[in-house]
Amino acid sequence: MLPYLLNNMSYRPKNTKERIIHRLKITQGHLKKVQDMVEGDEYCINIIHQSQAIQKALKEIDHLVLEEHLKGCVSDAIKAGKSEDAVLEVMEILRKAD
């Protein structure tokens, strides 16, 4: 029974860095699939669907990275009296995302 349970347990990253790396690896695999689809002359709409899924996954990765930045670096900057610089930095990256 134990081997059955071990084979059916999905990987669960322990911390945010592991979650980010895990998602990047999955996204990398999807990107390779899209490349193969293009090389294989697959239906364009299917390629676009896969590309959109990759873009969404990358956006989710950005959100995880930003969350960690806010919890760590920005929090530290505010405690050190550098809140204006920290806010400007975050606002700049948010503007670039639009």
Question: Which residue's entry shows tokens 């639009």?
Answer: 98
* Cβ(57)–Cβ(23) below 8 Å: yes
| pLDDT given for residue 14 in this prediction | 80
d(CA 19, CA 10) in angstroms, rounded, equals 13
What was the pLDDT predicted at 7?
52
* Model pLDDT, residue 1: 43
Q: Which domains, from first to last, does the chain contain?
A: 2-97 (1.20.58.1000)
Encode the chain (98 residues) as per-residue pLDDT tens digits.
445 444 555 656 688 899 999 999 999 999 999 999 999 999 999 999 999 999 999 999 999 999 999 999 999 999 999 999 999 999 999 999 86
Q: What pTM, to 2 d.p., does this model score? A: 0.76
How far is residue 94's CA from residue 98's CA, in Å, rounded to a whole number?
7
CB count within 10 Å of CB 50 equals 18
